[in-house]
Amino acid sequence: MIAVDTNILVYAHREDSPFHQQAYQQIESLARSPAAWAIPWPCIHEFFSIATHAGIFDPPTPRSQAIDQIEAWLECPSAICIGEGQNHWTHLRQLLEAGQIVGPRVHDARIAAICLQHGISELWTADRDFSFFSVLKTRNPLVHHNP
């Protein structure tokens, strides 16, 4: 199952993003597919925080539009939201130790641990910081890959 990181969600939502069209098409392809795909709950939280932040976007996404966007993703029949479960600390601790993670990278480790716990086969992200977690396969869907 594919999971989608915050940056791809933001790009798909914000029409002023230079990556909007590509990200929108990728999310649309997931939504149209009968195959299940996932959004980690921390990515939903972070999407809302970033999209509505006046220091990041001028103008920021209005709160009601950000909520509507999230609800549209949540209403997609093939989308599921994933979060921390019973064994979260086991996965998170392994990632923290293996990657020698401290500081702000803990947030990415949290997302990676959630993905691993839920058996995610690939995280779509444009964030290279996920390379610290070699046990999680990542792919930037905005970059053309030759088979």
Domains in the chain (CATH in brackets) are 2-139 (3.40.50.1010)
Q: Which two tokens stand for residue 108?
A: 């990415």
Task: State the pLDDT at residue 147.
Answer: 45
Choose among 140, 135, 138: nearest CA to 117: 135
* Residue showing tokens 């976007």: 57
- Tell me the pLDDT tens digit for each residue of 5-24: 999 999 999 999 999 999 99
What are the residues facing 135 on neighbouring strands?
none
Global pTM value: 0.93
d(CA 91, CA 88): 5
Q: Is 95 helix (H, G, I), strand (E, B) or coil?
A: helix
Q: Read off the pLDDT band of 145 (50, 70, 90).
A: low
- Tell me the pLDDT tens digit for each residue of 103-136: 999 999 999 999 999 999 999 999 998 988 999 9
Based on its alpha-carbon atoms, the radius of gyration of the chain, rounded to whole angstroms, reads 15
d(CA 131, CA 66): 29
The letter for the amino acid at 110 is: R
Helix axes 6-13, 20-32, angle to 10 degrees: 110
- Tell me the pLDDT tens digit for each residue of 35-86: 999 999 999 999 999 999 999 999 999 999 999 999 999 999 999 999 999 9
d(CA 116, CA 135): 8
Choose among 88, 100, 111: nearest CA to 8: 111
Choose among 68, 61, 74, 81: nearest CA to 31: 74
